[in-house]
Amino acid sequence: MHPIIADLAKAYVGKLRCLRVNTVQNQNQEVAMRYGIRSIPTILIFKDGERKETVIHTIANTAMATTVDRFF
């Protein structure tokens, strides 16, 4: 998913901020617990500080772009 997210970040410069958090190997477990992350990859989409969408597992770049577009 990292290449897909990187492409989205480039396509939406100034509109979208993409962050990566490692929740495996006991890193950032508080984040995983806070947001109920149980599978990797999990993509959380926030708008104005509120979680709007959760995408679990790998999806195509066009599907990810369509998901992101719903919030602009």
d(CA 29, CA 22): 9
**So what's the pLDDT on residue 59?**
87
d(CA 29, CA 16): 25
Residue 13 has pLDDT above 90, yes or no: yes
Average pLDDT over residues 9-34: 89
**So what's the pLDDT on residue 26?**
78
d(CA 43, CA 23): 12
The CATH H-level superfamily of 2-67 is: Glutaredoxin (3.40.30.10)
d(CA 65, CA 15): 13
d(CA 36, CA 13): 28
pLDDT digits (tens, 9 = 90+) for 27-65: 889 999 999 998 889 999 999 999 999 999 888 888 999
- What are the tokens at 55? 């995408």
